[in-house]
Structure 1
């Protein structure tokens, strides 16, 4: 009988100790990072660029805890699809089949510990790509994995 009582006491004590918490867990990040226009955002919706020029990317990213990285992607919009994050509607060229569309996709690191980051990237536009409507996609991810997306409609001309 003493053994059973000892076992029951040991079990209850173990459960009580294991279930206690001092609540020292780090705060959980439950907020998405933000893409902020800043002083002079670039590119902006409906902007026209020419082959051989450079697209200056200038936006600010913020997060309540810590930023992770960002991605810039450019793809054609020859089929007039949308991403539902655009600031407005731009006049579109007629729907067409791509021959040599521009595809750009690059990841960029943000310094460790940053809660705000001014992104500055200059992207050269190739000469040998199709003219037309393109989407400039901006994605920023924080350390917790939350992501914010911004789609900007641009046009590439000769």
Structure 2
């Protein structure tokens, strides 16, 4: 009788180890971050308030893409940049996500990011985040400048 109990306990322990090992393997499936190639705007691009941003990038993942997000925020806080004059203007901010699920590669090209005409001129950060279907995330950061002397984005 004790032999049966001992065998039962050993069998249950062996099965537990097997199931835990399988669960860990499944969690470790896709651990590779997607690749972002941001073509436009380029680093240091000067963009004109009242125009749209020429936005172009390529996304790639080894398994499957999920979504990408563009975030733009001001960089007026003095960490190595000049402060902008703010009389009669508003700091520009943008945050939007797009779904690219079901694709391993995506070429994105649009002009839908509009810079308001009353956007405060100065230094900004443009961030692009890409998340794959497994939740791995990569990002690219660009410094851009809003200036009346900048490009209109109409390429």
- SS of equivalent residue, structure 1 residue 51: coil
Report the alpha carbon displacement of residue 14 of structure 1 after superposing the two structures with TM. Answer: 3.1
Separation in 1, partners of 2:59, 2:116: 27
Count residues with an aligned counterpart.
142
Report the alpha carbon displacement of residue 49 of structure 1 after superposing the two structures with TM. Answer: 1.3
- SS of equivalent residue, structure 2 residue 40: coil
Considering only aligned residues, what root-mean-square deviation do their CA atoms show, in Å?
A: 2.5
- Residue 151 (structure 2) aligns with: none
Report the alpha carbon displacement of residue 108 of structure 1 after superposing the two structures with TM. Answer: 1.0
- Residue 133 (structure 1) aligns with: 123
- TM-score scaled by length of structure 2: 0.77
Matches within 5 A, 1:12-91: 12-20=10-18, 26=26, 28-37=29-38, 41-81=39-79
Q: 1:60 to 1:147 in 2, by over 3 A?
A: same
Separation in 2, partners of 1:19, 1:48: 58
Residue 137 of structure 2, aligned match among 147, 150, 153: 147
Separation in 2, partners of 1:149, 1:103: 18
Q: 1:11 to 1:45 in 2, by over 3 A?
A: same
- SS of equivalent residue, structure 1 residue 31: coil
Separation in 2, partners of 1:81, 1:135: 12
More helix by share: 2
- TM-score scaled by length of structure 1: 0.76
Q: 1:78 to 1:17 in 2, by over 3 A?
A: closer
Report the alpha carbon displacement of residue 136 of structure 1 after superposing the two structures with TM. Answer: 0.9
8 Å CA contact retained: 2:74, 2:124:
yes
